Structure 1
Amino acid sequence: MTALKLVLATPVFRMLAGIIGLMGVFNASIFPYQSLIGIERIGLSHNAFAAVMVLASAIGVTTAVYVGILTDQKANRRQIALITACFGFAGVALMLIWPSPLTFIIANGLLMPVAGSLFGQAFALNRLASFAHPTQREGIQATVRSSMSVTFLAMLIFWTFAFAAGTDVMAIYITGGLASLGLVVLILTSWPRDGQTTWADKPSGLKLSKALAQLARPTVSLRLLCLGAVISSGVLYMVVISLVFEEASGRSTADVALYVGLVAGWEVPFMLLLPRYLGHLPRARLIVIGTAIYICHLVFMPYLAPTPAIWAMTFVAGFGGTAMLILPISYYQDLLASQPGTAAALMALQKLVGDIFAALAFTIGTAFGGYWLVVLIGGGFALTGALALWWLDYRRPFAIATA
């Protein structure tokens, strides 16, 4: 049975695909338009908006790590997933009922970042549920993750036509609200009840300090640093894409949306195909290959943006980016095999590291050159991280991290 058929035939995997898909709807509805609403509609200054984003990042990372450790410690995954989903719904409801600077800060800086931890919680449950299907684990994970790319692309297309038809930008909170309400209902009705699962989920009993000490071990932290450098190329892509297209002759905002949408579209088939090759190549080597391919798209983007050849780069980005999106999830799960919640929380820490590397590349590149230098530096960070990860695994296999 293929991984796709297995996901469709198994209630828990269908539910998880639904959760990840609804998160794709939520993300595509809310996050691309945060700056427009916060600055143009709500009236925040650029500095105030930046402060909200810093707050959101801090809250998101802290919540993800704490929730990951807590769910491993108590094995109360359904209860915590439901609470965090309610935070997301509350944030959207605030913006629908009373849009103001205060509610924007509360919703976007506090409530929605807490809800973002649901992504890691879903993949922690996916890890536990897929123990019954060891040969299909990677395929199940990739299939579940691909649902986010599908819904994200669908919403980008939807909003492109909706805005062209004159829909007000505040309407994003309607689809975001429906998605967050759907998450609450889906968890309430379909998430397996704690202590009643067909798979083992024993509380770890680890205290917070001991769990945090495990994350600080070089075996874990060095690999986190490497993967953070790898995914910084994706962060940098989202930062520079609109800036590069704005400078390119003959390009418009619509081209940016189309490019991003095509990249997301190409990711879906590659996500479904990738698990077939995991038995032939080590995961770290696949990450090196995927990163090398992805940075080709990143480095050539400023040069090809004015030409028709830029559209071929969507294929390159989707192909290479798939390894960066999918493989770190299972990599962390194997790194901390007995703590799936904590392992999933590493995704949030990875994003923080990626943001720092991307910001560093952007700052240096714009200070001494232009966007061409930004992407060169960012590509260098990513490839160095991928090669360092491969070297670490070659020198000392990460299986010892579970000891």
Structure 2
Amino acid sequence: MTDQSRMPVTALLGANMFFSGVTYAATIPYASLAGVDTLGLSPALFATIMAVGSVLATFVSVGLGYISDKLPDRRLLVLMTALAGMVAHGMIFVWPTQASFALAMGVIMPVAGACYSQCFGYVRVYYARHRPERADFMVTALRTVFTIAWIVVPPLAGWIAAEFNIFNVYLASALSYAAIAGIYAALMRDPATRIEASAPRRLEGGDWRSSFALQPGILAGLIGLVVMTGGSRLFTFTIPLSIVTDLGGSLTDVGLYAGITAAIEVPSLLLLGYLGNRLSKETLLAGAGVVMAVFIGLASQIGTVTQLFWLLVLNGLGTAALMTISLSYVQEAIKDRVGLSTSLLDVVAIAANLLGATAFGVLAAGGDYRFALMVAAVLSVAGAIILALGNTGRLGARQKAAGARI
């Protein structure tokens, strides 16, 4: 380690990733229930708010990613985005109206949405600087901590939403964003945790544009990820309403569905760690799309919540692969630009959210949630095909991984 930190950095970053998980786990399973079921937004208006936020978030994310490779201190961006999340979700809790939901999700959350990727960007550059041989491992390990939040929080949030008020889930998220801000404010007191970006190397004979170059295979992979994740987003928006409406479940069942999925992700990560040493990232990501398509397709045909729970083994495995492997895959997309590459995580997520929200607005308008789930399954397998066709030479055995870069 080049500069010994006086602080328990790994413990703080672990706590940071847990609270980051809470911000998602407490709110995502209940977004459509809060907006459509409780506040009375139509599916089309809900989808429009999410789509507007996605478009704005695209520009915010790329801008922040570009800036992060030039800032003298990457911790500032995490602090700023965490404070935005605290304000946005705090507003929904304090002032639960259609107007506050639209303002928070359509205007403020596009800034807060970058917090997740900027946290992972900081994790990678910190360990690439201090412990380069463990950088990939630490990204995976801290992603596991993020998953633990998904095991613990959704069932508890579902119980709170059912017994008290659904908007309490946004209070939990706002407090978690405040905790993230506090952690990074504490880290900023230690000079050893300050990471200044190094100038990106250019290809020999290339101009400044070579710093932003995406190889055709990577571009196909990113498009495939957008389509696959778009199917997952459509599923995420639809399944809570389907559980309550089609399957006769409750808000508690919605929380259990999310918590069980996350619990299955943990052992799935061990399996993926084994497979990751033998198969390429492209193979595993394409496989994840197929697994998710099978799961969502089956989920569209079932008749009880219990049957859904039995299918969650597939959901946990597919989600673990899609969410975890994509982290390192995307962070290596643009050579020597970890910050800008990490912002592509947001671009993929935002484009997928836009695709999923638009599809939800169109398909769920008539209350036919089963058909929306079937379309989500089609999107998932289509994304896997796009990724595979663009990377036929990289399917199969694992190739030598690129080294960690800052």
Asked if structure 1 preserves the Cα contact closer than 8 Å seen for 2:75 and 2:122, the reply is no
Deviations 1:164-198 (A, max 9, x none): 43x1233233322221211111110025867x558
Find 1:325's aligned residue among 316, 323, 326.
323
Equivalent residue runs for 1:183-332 within 5 Å: 183-190=180-187, 196-197=192-193, 201-204=197-200, 214=212, 218=216, 220-242=218-240, 244-245=242-243, 248=246, 251-306=249-304, 308-332=306-330
Point out which structure has higher relative CO (alpha carbons under 8 A, 6+ apart): 2
Q: Which runs of 5+ in 1 are unaligned?
A: 1-9
Q: Which residue of 2 aligns with 1:6?
A: none
Bigger share in helix: 1
Supply the distance in 1 between the matched residues of 2:293 and 2:174 (Cα, whole angstroms): 35
Q: Supply the RMSD in Å over aligned alpha carbons.
A: 3.8
1:20 and 2:17 aligned: yes
After superposition, residues 2-401 of structure 1 pair within 5 angstroms as: 11-38=8-35, 47-131=44-128, 132-165=130-163, 167-190=164-187, 196-197=192-193, 201-204=197-200, 214=212, 218=216, 220-242=218-240, 244-245=242-243, 248=246, 251-306=249-304, 308-355=306-353, 358=356, 370-371=371-372, 373-391=374-392, 393=394
Residue deviations 1:351-375 (CA, integer Å, cap 9, x gap): 23434554687768999x9357424
Confirm or deny: 8 A CA contact 2:73 2:194 kept in the other structure: no
Counterpart of 1:70 in structure 2: which amino acid?
Answer: I
SS in 1 for 2:290: helix
* In 2, Cα distance between equivalents of 1:191 and 1:106: 31
Name the TM-score, length of structure 2 as normaliser: 0.80
Q: CA deviation at 1:225?
A: 0.7
1:47–1:164 CA distance, 2 compared to 1 (3 A): closer
Q: Counterparts of 1:18 and 1:61 in 2: how far apart (Å)?
A: 27
More moved, 343-352 vs 226-235: 226-235
Cα deviation, residue 242, structure 1? 3.5
Task: State the Cα distance separating 1:87 from its structure 2 match.
Answer: 1.4
Alpha-carbon distance, 1:150 to partner: 1.5
Cα distance in 2 for partners of 1:307, 1:183 equals 35
Residues 1:388 and 1:361: Cα distance change in structure 2 (over 3 Å): farther
**How far did residue 391 of structure 1 move?**
1.4
Q: Distance in 2 between matches of 1:236 and 1:45?
A: 16
Q: Provide the secondary structure at the position in 2 that maps to 1:312.
A: helix
- Paired with 2:375 and 2:20, the residues of 1 have a C-alpha distance of 30
Cα displacement (A) at 1:348: 1.5
Q: 1:79 to 1:155 in 2, by over 3 A?
A: same
Gaps of 5+ in 2: 1-6
Is the CA contact (8 Å cut-off) linking 1:24 and 1:148 kept in structure 2? Answer: yes
Aligned counterparts of 1:125 and 1:277: Cα–Cα separation in 2: 26
Aligned twin of 2:3: none
Question: How high is the sequence identity, in percent, across the aligned residues?
Answer: 21
Cα deviation, residue 387, structure 1: 1.8
